[in-house]
Homo-oligomer: A and B are copies of this chain.
Amino acid sequence: MTEPHALIAVEMGIDTHQEPVVFLRADCEVCRAEGFNANTRLQLSLGERAIIATLNVVTEAVLPPGRVGFSHIAWQRLELKGGEAVTLSHAPVLHSMSAVRKKIYGNRLSDTEIGDIITDISLHRYSDMQIASFLTACVERLDTAEVIALTRAMVASGKRLHWPDRLQRMDKHCIGGVPGNRTTPIVVAIASAAGLIMPKTSSRAITSPSGTADTMEVLTRVHLELEEIQATVRQVNACLAWGGAVNLSPADDMLIRIEHVLDIDGTGQMVASVLSKKIAAGSTHALIDIPVGPTAKVRSQPQAEQMARLFDTVGQALALKVRCLITRGDQAVGFGVGPAQEARDVLAVLQNQADAPADLRERALFLASHLLNMAGRGSLAQTEVQARDILLSGQAWQQFHRICDAQGGLKEIPDAAFQRELGAAHSGTLLAMDNRRLARLAKLAGAPSSPAAGLRLHAKLGQALARGQPLLTLYADSRGELDYAAAYYARNQDFFMIGETP
């Protein structure tokens, strides 16, 4: 037998996202000896540890001889410090890819096959191309048993939060697609003021101008460790934390990234994604908000009903009580879009300000009353009264303040450096708005990476407008972003449909 081929590890300073990539010189003797080529999947080993990586060939100027370069994630996965002699070989056959091929050919996968795929993905053994292939093969081709297996495998891929068994843990989730629909902080405040336990972990924006974690970060600290989440919930019944810090269903995060790059969104995949996060967070009850509208994520009532049925069945199989609410998704909720602007709306509702957005308040009350009802606090008619009373009496605001204090204190909402009003192109009634482009506009202005950036609407559907009357105000932290967003708006005159009332 020959000695294994080893090269000295070098960190390349290149971020290849979740796909480990290694870099070798074109004239590398190991490549030659091992028959590596541009399509080879490599195994890199150091002692007991091993990773699989994609190969990129580089010129001599990039890497000294006898070296192998690592991308960030490859470096991190192999836990390198620098200077180690790493062994290179052909990657072993990934058996779970046979199951992926089985699905590509339209066959059912067993629980074990799905489990093996998710394990390999969570260990970064799949290239982005392989994940893309798996996700594509699954779109609308997973049956209920497969979605259940997928959910279970995703939960098993990461950590779980544990809570005393006797407690009900309430959760809520919106499947998204409607800008400004920031009900979570209000719902959590109302429900936990009523004594419900809500260990709420939320995500940051992936493609939207703000996620609940981004909005909450404007108001308080959200990067809590596992122990802090548990301490906060013990102290004030609830938390409003970023889920990313606690490694819940990490395989799901990897799948979501590729789904967004490809802009595909299979129902089965999405249900597994949402429910795996809830189960990993230790929830016993989950309320799911499914907004339906012509430019929302779900476009029709039958599609929403089918999704709701799948949520119910999968939840049941995994001992999670699920209730789905199909809601209106034909326009932005509240006035603000972007972390700070949404935070202003949230505070306005919690503080019962006169100009608080009524639609955001009513949606939050609707969801909160359903949560109270699910928790056995009375009929819906009764819990509606309870929820409204908690909000209007100021108890929800006090409770929200307590949660923020427990997480590190309430912060001042930042102001944007630049702002500009944009007016209606002509007079008439506001008949429709495009949720997707509205989200894009807020992102061009800098949201969510500039928390103060975003936009504020001055009109709702059905409102009469005079020509030039302010439709929205843009907020940005740089003049460039402000101009860029304004130019995008100017190029998209059908952003808002203004016409005669039908």
Interface hit among A419-427, A455-463, A476-484: A476-484
* In the complex, chain B residues whose CB is within 8 Å of the CB of A235: none
Cβ of A310 under 8 Å from chain B? no
* Interface size grouping (class) on chain A: 35 or more
Interface hit among A9-17, A164-172, A329-337, A351-359: A9-17
Task: With A1-B483, A33-B478, A136-B137 given, name 6 new contacts (CB 8 A).
Answer: A2-B480, A33-B481, A33-B484, A97-B262, A127-B261, A128-B129
Is A2 touching B483 in the complex (CB atoms < 8 A)? yes
Residue-wise, chain A 441-472 has the 8 Å CB interface mask toward B (1 for contact) of 00110100100000000000000000000000
* In the complex, chain B residues whose CB is within 8 Å of the CB of A14: 23, 56-59, 62
Cβ of A260 under 8 Å from chain B? yes
Instruction: Give the contacting residue for A139; candidates B104, B257, B478; CB below 8 A.
Output: B104
* In the complex, chain B residues whose CB is within 8 Å of the CB of A449: 32, 35, 37
Instruction: Give the contacting residue for A140; candidates B37, B58, B106, B135; CB below 8 A.
Output: B106
Q: How many angstroms from the CA of A132 to the CA of B35 in the assembled complex?
A: 24
Instruction: Give the contacting residue for A129; candidates B105, B206, B262; CB below 8 A.
Output: B262
* In the complex, chain B residues whose CB is within 8 Å of the CB of A139: 104-105
Instruction: Give the contacting residue for A61; candidates B13, B33, B130; CB below 8 A.
Output: B13
Q: Is the interface of A mostly helix, strand, loop or mixed?
A: mixed
Closest Cβ neighbor of A40 among chain B residues: B261
Q: How many angstroms from the CA of A2 to the CA of B482 in the assembled complex?
A: 9
Q: How many angstroms from the CA of A16 to the CA of B54 in the assembled complex?
A: 10
Is A1 touching B487 in the complex (CB atoms < 8 A)? yes
Cβ of A299 under 8 Å from chain B? no
Cβ of A381 under 8 Å from chain B? no
* In the complex, chain B residues whose CB is within 8 Å of the CB of A56: 14-16
Cβ of A39 under 8 Å from chain B? yes
Cβ of A133 under 8 Å from chain B? yes
Cβ of A263 under 8 Å from chain B? yes
How close is A89's CB to chain B, nearest CB, in angstroms? 10
* In the complex, chain B residues whose CB is within 8 Å of the CB of A101: 263-264
User: Given that A2-B484, A104-B139, A483-B1 are known contacts, is A264 also in contact with B133, CB under 8 Å in the complex?
Assistant: yes
User: Given that A12-B62, A478-B33 are known contacts, is A129 also in contact with B263, CB under 8 Å in the complex?
Assistant: no
Taken together, the copies of this chain in the complex come to 2
Cβ of A258 under 8 Å from chain B? yes
How close is A303's CB to chain B, nearest CB, in angstroms? 12
Q: How many angstroms from the CA of A57 to the CA of B207 in the assembled complex?
A: 18
Cβ of A34 under 8 Å from chain B? yes
Residue-wise, chain A 126-162 has the 8 Å CB interface mask toward B (1 for contact) of 0111111101110110000000000000000000000
Residue-wise, chain A 6-37 has the 8 Å CB interface mask toward B (1 for contact) of 00000011111100000100100000111101
* In the complex, chain B residues whose CB is within 8 Å of the CB of A37: 449
Is A39 touching B129 in the complex (CB atoms < 8 A)? no
Closest Cβ neighbor of A12 among chain B residues: B62
Q: How many angstroms from the CA of A446 to the CA of B58 in the assembled complex?
A: 21
* In the complex, chain B residues whose CB is within 8 Å of the CB of A444: 35
Residue pairs across A and B with Cβ atoms less than 8 A apart, 28 shown, are A1-B483, A1-B487, A2-B480, A12-B62, A13-B61, A13-B62, A14-B57, A14-B59, A14-B62, A32-B478, A33-B481, A34-B484, A97-B262, A101-B263, A101-B264, A104-B136, A104-B139, A104-B264, A105-B139, A129-B258, A129-B262, A130-B262, A132-B132, A132-B133, A132-B136, A133-B136, A133-B264, A136-B137
Q: How many angstroms from the CA of A139 to the CA of B99 in the assembled complex?
A: 15
Closest Cβ neighbor of A478 among chain B residues: B33
* In the complex, chain B residues whose CB is within 8 Å of the CB of A260: 39
How close is A415's CB to chain B, nearest CB, in angstroms? 19
How close is A127's CB to chain B, nearest CB, in angstroms? 7
User: Given that A33-B481, A132-B132, A136-B136 are known contacts, is A17 also in contact with B38, CB under 8 Å in the complex?
Assistant: yes
Question: 9 smallest A-B Cβ distances: which pairs?
Answer: A13-B59, A129-B132, A136-B136, A13-B62, A15-B57, A2-B483, A133-B136, A132-B132, A33-B480
Instruction: Give the contacting residue for A15; candidates B38, B97, B128; CB below 8 A.
Output: B38
Q: How many angstroms from the CA of A13 to the CA of B131 in the assembled complex?
A: 27
Q: How many angstroms from the CA of A59 to the CA of B13 in the assembled complex?
A: 5
Central interface residue in A104, A136, A262, by most chain B CB within 10 Å: A136
